[in-house]
Amino acid sequence: MTQTKVKPNYVDLKTLYDRLRKFGFNQDFILSNGLPDWWCEEYEASSDAVVTAAAYLSRRFNLDLPSLLNPELNPIFDAESKALFKTVKNQDANDENVKAELAVAQNLALRVAELIAYTYKCQYQSIVGMTAKEIRAAILDKYTSVTLEALLAFCNEYGIPIGHFAEFPTKVKKFFGMVTQSKGHPVIVVSLCDLSPSRLSFIIAHELGHIALGHLEDGLIISEQNLGMLDLLDDDESAANEFAAELILGQPDRVYYFPHYMTAEVLSESAMEKSRRDRVDAGSIAWNYGWYKTSHFPVARKAAGLIEKNSNAPQQINRYLSKSLDWDSLSNDYREYLALALGLDIVEIIEESWNCLPVS
């Protein structure tokens, strides 16, 4: 008597893809970010393709594996994190609809932050209680102003990894910056896609403010959908913004006064002159022109671009981070995914790892 094999009660691959659309994950995003580079149509026809795909997607996208495979369950993220969302002024960040919209980007970034913390080689030294003035003074001992490079170096010295991650589905609501605690490290994730080093510097300085001011608790994530000097939501956000302004500009309420309207060319020249006088990054001075009046924003952006020609701030952040990561501590899949998430060349990473091996 032959026994009939009972098939596991799993969804098929097409249904798995369809179920992920609720998070904004279309098939192109899944194939390019959620599955390994060897994945192909031929393998999709195999009997274990759906289980393999679900395993990769759960690891990379921070999703609960059983909920992906079980047709009676709705796909959910692996764990509900204790999150404090900060959004634009007059928008209730604790509204359930707002939370749901931001949850996808937050959970994707959380998995990247966990991987960064797991493989980060520097030991954390607490900066809780340090003032913006003290951090600025420490940086100015080594740099002429508080630039992106200077902030990356300071954070690395104190064991605070910073990564830039922006690989989100197209229609997902995104955030500018996030800070979380993982593996004993505060981890800062910047997600704003902007090439300007000085613009991303403010986001990093703001997140540093949350850490130094003691706003970060174990497991707490603070996400900002928008950062602006006029969009102050509560005491913590106001304090973090003032901290960032003092760290970068030297004073928490510093405003550089310019004529009512300037061309980008004149603004960039004036910013560089004031930079030498005040030991303030010229790009940050240019952005200061647009912080308080939105109509000045395009001019400020163009002026910053003239000052920071050929800059690529996301690439600068992640290349700096890569030097402090123990890539060999990761599995092949996690190493491939982290490199993809950070926009780094996995081949170069492997070659550098081999070059670091001792010669026998």
pLDDT tens by residue, 152-176: 999 999 999 999 999 999 888 888 9
Q: Are strands 83-86 and 221-224 parallel, antiparallel or unpaired?
A: parallel
The pair of three-digit structure tokens given for residue 315, joined into one six-digit string: 């690439």
Q: How far apart (Å, rounded) are the C-alpha atoms in residues 111 and 263?
A: 43
pTM of the model: 0.90
pLDDT of the residue at 6? 44
Phi, psi torsion values for 79, nearest 5 degrees: -155, 140
Distance in Å from the first CA to the final CA of the chain: 62
Contacts of 13 by beta carbon, 8 Å cutoff, 6+ apart: 44, 49, 50, 53
Going by the DSSP 8-state scheme, the letter that residue 47 receives in this structure is T
Instruction: Note down pLDDT in tens along the chain; length 360 residues.
Output: 454 444 556 789 999 999 999 889 999 999 999 999 999 989 999 989 999 999 999 999 999 999 999 989 999 998 755 556 555 444 555 556 666 777 899 899 999 999 999 999 999 999 999 999 999 999 999 999 999 999 999 999 999 999 999 999 988 888 899 999 998 889 999 999 999 999 999 999 999 999 999 998 756 777 766 655 444 457 888 899 999 999 999 998 898 888 778 899 999 999 999 999 999 999 999 999 988 788 899 999 999 999 999 999 999 999 999 999 999 999 999 999 999 999 999 888 877 766 655 554
Return the residue matching tokens 């070659």: 351
Q: How far apart are CA 276 and CA 273, in angstroms?
A: 6
User: How many angstroms separate the CA atoms of 22 and 18, rounded?
Assistant: 8
At residue 90, the pLDDT reads 45
Residue 92: exposure state from Cβ atoms within 10 A (0-12, 13-18, ≥19): exposed
CB 100, CB 77: distance < 8 Å: no
Which pLDDT tens digit goes with each residue over 231-288?
Answer: 445 788 889 999 999 999 999 889 888 877 889 999 999 999 999 999 999 999 999 9
Consecutive H or E run containing 178? strand 177-182
C-alpha 341: how far from its chain's center?
A: 10
By CB atoms closer than 10 A (0-12, 13-18, 19+), residue 347 is exposed
- The answer to whether 254 and 245 are in contact (CB under 8 A) is yes
